[in-house]
Structures are given as structure tokens and as C-alpha cells.
A and B are shown apart, each in its own frame.
Chain A
């Protein structure tokens, strides 16, 4: 019997990619997992040692951890939810033919292409309690009589950063959903018109089902990105005042910044697990829906 000759080429060709991914993804992740089991605090290098689940136990007793987790849930649900709603509305608008559509499409991308750090700084000044343009606008419109220190009081700081992340993420949804909308055959709408379907029925019986996969993938991506986002909050409030805007990723960043890498890694892994809890059922639903549609 002729034995098949081993061909090393496929392995050699994918080796650089695999090595790179291992070096820049798997190795740091592995390192973070290992650090989460150690008292890895660079301020006390002589005390770095294996501590088992001590960091995880500490996180369970850390009220700031639970507060940050709750903030993360609100941040993601409200942030991504409104990004989706407004993104969808924008996509429907941009899918219509009107004069200057190309320009409007380009302009609508500005929040998405602007770096998060810049967005944070820009909105920090917009919301500024002394010189911010938002206060000025609201006062000129007669909606308020005294300036509101949006980012300096706990009741308004978190809604302010959520508003900013909504503004940033709308174009992403608009872009992805617009691409999906353009892939829906016009005949479906023509047939629905012949059948006497109204706009509401056309939207929920043709548009939404046709975009189901796009909606699944884009929302999942945004959930992960927004949950992990640090730049906008950090540049606007650094998690304050009084930890009122501190999501889990910002807490991880702050802890990492103060060099308690063991505890920061622990919280990062707990955040990853929490995201996996959302992502796995979500992907299962997606694959199931794809199977059913075949």
C-alpha cells in the first residue's frame, strides 16, 4: 500500500501566523491567567508569590468590583441598545435616495473614525460645567437657568459618558446595517406591496428577518468592544466622581496603572468570563438561526 507522503508546506506557510498569534494573543492571555493566581503587585516585588484563588476571593468581597460590574452591564445594555436603535434609523435613512446622500453618508462616519481618546477629550469639554458648549446651548434655549456640572456630579456623570459612547457607536451600526439593507432584493418589497403589506409589516416581516445575521454579529461585536472600552471613560472622568463611571474595564485599567497586576488580571479574566456568558448563547442562537434558514 502506498503511504501518503507528508507535505510540510501547509504547516510552514501558516506557521508565521500561528507564531505571531501565540506571541501577541495567547502568551499574554496565559500570562494574565497565571498572574491572577499570584500576589503580583510590582509595588511589592519581594512579596510576589502564588496565592491560589485569593485574588478571586478578594474580588468577590470587593464592593467596587460588584459596583463596576453593574455599571458595565448598564453601560453595555444602554450604550449598545441606543447605538443599535439610532444606527438602524440612520441606516434606513441613508438607504433612501436623496440629494447629497454621499456627503451625508461620509459625514455620518465621523464619530466612528475619530479616535476614542479624542472623543473623550472633546466631550469632556462639551460637558464642562464652566465653559462647556452644552451648558451654553441649554441656557440660551432657556432649558436651564444654572450651569450643570455634568461630569462632576454622580447623577449626571454616568449618563454623560453613556451618551458619548452612543454617539461614537451609531455609525458602526448604520454602516453594517446599510450594507445589509442593500443586499435585500427589491422584489421582496414589490411582492409585499402587491399583497397589500403596510410599511410596518414590510419592516418587521422583510427588513428585520433579512438583517437578522447582520444584527446578531454587529451587536455581539459592539457588546464586546463597549464592555472592554476604556478610552472614552478614562479621558472624560477616569472613573470618577466617586467611582460613579467606573466600569469593570476602567477598574482593571486603574488597578493595572497602580501596578497591582495580579488583581487587575483577576478582574480582567472575570470580565472575559462574563462576556463569554453573553457571547456563547448568542453565537449558539446565531448558528441555530443559520441552520434553520438553510
Chain B
């Protein structure tokens, strides 16, 4: 009788174990949206998803779907898809979109997931604080993934030709823009411009450095200091130190201009470094945007989110964790050169010995983000490029332009 009882108990336990395992391994599919700056990044994300699918051991299949960044319109595409009842389970994300998604109650609160997550401490606590601040609550809604600090790319050979050294102050930087604007073949025409200015969408990030360098900030764009920064930006264009196409130059144009030798300096982050080295080898380097009265550079942030509409939130978090501190973090940051958020990955030699990573780290202490308001996306996509284009064309003074930008961002 006793033996029968033991057998029965074992049979029940075995069945429970089988049920538990099968329940755990019930196949689930996670649709993940992301953007990629070039085909290599695109291929890497597909590989990361494939590797995760093969190794997670929990029956999770991630389908990674790529959408264009389109100067920030990605966030609006995602928003429309989710509001329309579609969209993915998880997505790459920018902090600036947090108010929009939070106001419409679309994001999953990650606090409970993070509390149970063994790798939580591999990410700097300050990053979680930034995520909380962006949501305007005490909760974390976005999962850190990687950061990019903007800095100045330059061509050492052109610096040598112009007799310019790496600028250490803001004034020296402005002077370098002037000296690097050259007629290199003696035909009487400028063929190298000192500064590859970005006047189209996304240009507000490098522009912000000029505002701060003069002692301004984003809280009040109408201060004399902020206006002086804007005037410097305008003067670079007006004096011919930036290509005439600058008002409409976006990411593709500034990179193409730099790579073709049309510009001697341009501002972007480490994400472009691999392509730069492919083009120039050792004839490309970088320096942190120099300080003047103040100092600021843009911290590009990329996070991941789980949408509330997802039916598989546990599995979705597994995937985000893989991207944040697992193999996905290393693979993505090695390919893109982005600054990892995982402290373990940061310590890898490939990051420690990278000259562009060093400049990124040098810029990190004064790197920041634009105010995250519900007006920010429209300000970035429409108001900033059109107002600055008018100012560059001389149709609007620096003071009027800043007044308009202030109104667009802060509403007054």
C-alpha cells in the first residue's frame, strides 16, 4: 500500500513537472520593431534575434521588423500603429517620445520585472533615474539599451593643410571652421567647408552645443546668451563656412559631405565611426565639442519598451533583458560602436581601446537631452528646421528665431 502511494505521488509530481515545463516552453512570438542606420546594423539586429531565438530555451521567437528612423518620424509611425490596434510587442524607443506614449497609457511599467531581474545592477542606477524622470513618475517604463554622445569628427590631414590644431575652446572651434574653409585646388572656388552643418531635422542636437557654449540653455531660449549662440550658428552659414545646402542637410547629407571631403568637420556620434574609418582609415579622428561659457553636447539615447497591447509581457522582458545586458548588448554595441549600458560590456577591450569611445566617454559628463515635453516631437520635426532655415536665409533675426523656438517648445 505504501509503495503504491509513493508511485502515485511520483506519478503526480512527474506529471506536474511535465506540465510546468511544457507551460514554460509554450512557444510565443514577440514582434520587435527597430531602426538601423545602415545595412550592417540591420543584418546585426536580425542576427541578434536569430541567436536569441536559438539560445533562450524558453520557446520565445523574436521577429525583428525594421522601420526607418526617418529623422525621428519612427516614433510617430510606432504611435499610430499602436493606437490603430496594431504594432509590435516590443520596440526600440527614444526618451523624447515618453510623454506621448505615457499619456496614452501605452507602456508597460517595468518596476516589477526589474525588481525580479538578476542583472538589474549591471546598469548604472543613474540611467534608471533618467528613465523615471522622462516618464514624469517614480516608475521605469523604458529599458536602457545604449547611448551615443555627440562629438566632432574631423580630418587630421585637412587640419594640417589649414594649419589648425584640435580646438580646445569654443572660440578656437569657431576659428577652425573659418580656417578650414578652403580652396584647395586654386580654382577660386571653395571646395572644403569648415563645418558640416545639419539644418534639417535632427540638427537641433549639434545646434544645442552652440547655445550652451555661449552660456545659454534650453529653459529660456530668449536669453542674450542663447541668442548669441544662435547668431554664431547663423554666422557660420552666412560667412560661407558651411555648405550652401546646409538648411536642408540631414543625417545622410552631412555624412556624405564629410566622407566626400566637402566638409572638414561634422558632428555626429560613434554610430558613424565604423563607416568613417572604412572611408578614411587613420585620416579621421574626433574631439569633444569644446566648452565656452558653458558646455553641452547631446546624449543620444536608445531604449526599448514593451507595449501594453503585448500578450506575452514576460517573454518580451526576456528579450529586452537580452538586449540590455546579454549577448545582444555586446553584439549590437560592437557592430554599431554605441556606448553600452551594461557595465560588464563597457569593460571589454574592444570598447576600452576605441578612440571614438574615449571621446564619447570624455563628453559624457556634460552630455544631456532636450526637455522632454509633449511639444518636443513637433518642435524637433517641424518648428526647429523651418525656423532655423529662415534664420540661416536671413529672413529672420537670431532674436526672432529664438523667440519662435521658445514659443514652439514652451508655449510662451
Task: Report which A residues bind B (CB closer than 8 A).
Answer: 42-46, 128-131, 146-147, 149, 151-154, 237-243, 254, 257-260
**Number of residues in B with C-beta < 8 Å to the partner?**
39
Residues of B within 8 A of A129 (CB): 243-245
Residues of B within 8 A of A154 (CB): 389, 393, 395
Q: Which one of B162-170, B270-278, B346-354, B378-386 is at the A interface?
A: B378-386
Q: Which one of B97-105, B148-156, B204-212 is at the A interface?
A: B97-105
Residues of B within 8 A of A243 (CB): 386, 390
How long is the Cα–Cα vector from A129 to B247 in the complex, in angstroms? 11
A237, A243, A259 pick with most chain B CB within 10 angstroms: A259
How long is the Cα–Cα vector from A254 to B383 in the complex, in angstroms? 11
> Contact: A258 with B246, CB < 8 Å?
no
How long is the Cα–Cα vector from A146 to B245 in the complex, in angstroms? 12
In the complex, how many angstroms separate the beta carbon of B74 from the nearest chain A beta carbon?
Answer: 12
How long is the Cα–Cα vector from A154 to B246 in the complex, in angstroms? 13
> Contact: A45 with B389, CB < 8 Å?
no
> Contact: B257 with A130, CB < 8 Å?
yes
Check A153/B76 contact, CB under 8 A, given A42-B100, A131-B256: no
Residues of A within 8 A of B377 (CB): 43, 258-259
6 A–B contacts, CB within 8 A, in A order:
A43-B377, A152-B245, A152-B249, A153-B244, A258-B377, A259-B377
Residues of A within 8 A of B15 (CB): none
How long is the Cα–Cα vector from A160 to B153 in the complex, in angstroms? 33
Tell me the interface secondary structure of chain B in the complex.
helix
> Contact: B248 with A242, CB < 8 Å?
no
> Contact: B248 with A43, CB < 8 Å?
no
Lowest 3 A-B CB distances belong to which pairs? Answer: A241-B389, A242-B390, A129-B245
How long is the Cα–Cα vector from A254 to B390 in the complex, in angstroms? 18
In the complex, how many angstroms separate the beta carbon of B277 from the nearest chain A beta carbon?
Answer: 23
Which chain A residue has the least Cβ–Cβ distance from B105? A45
Residues of B within 8 A of A128 (CB): 245
Q: Name the one of A131, A153, A241, A258 contacting B381, with C-beta atoms under 8 angstroms.
A: A258
B374 within 8 A of A: yes
> Contact: A42 with B104, CB < 8 Å?
yes
> Contact: A241 with B243, CB < 8 Å?
no
Check A241/B386 contact, CB under 8 A, given A154-B395, A259-B79: yes
> Contact: B248 with A241, CB < 8 Å?
yes
Which chain A residue has the least Cβ–Cβ distance from B76? A257
> Contact: B244 with A147, CB < 8 Å?
yes
Which chain A residue has the least Cβ–Cβ distance from B395? A242
Residues of A within 8 A of B256 (CB): 130-131
Residues of A within 8 A of B389 (CB): 152, 154, 240-242
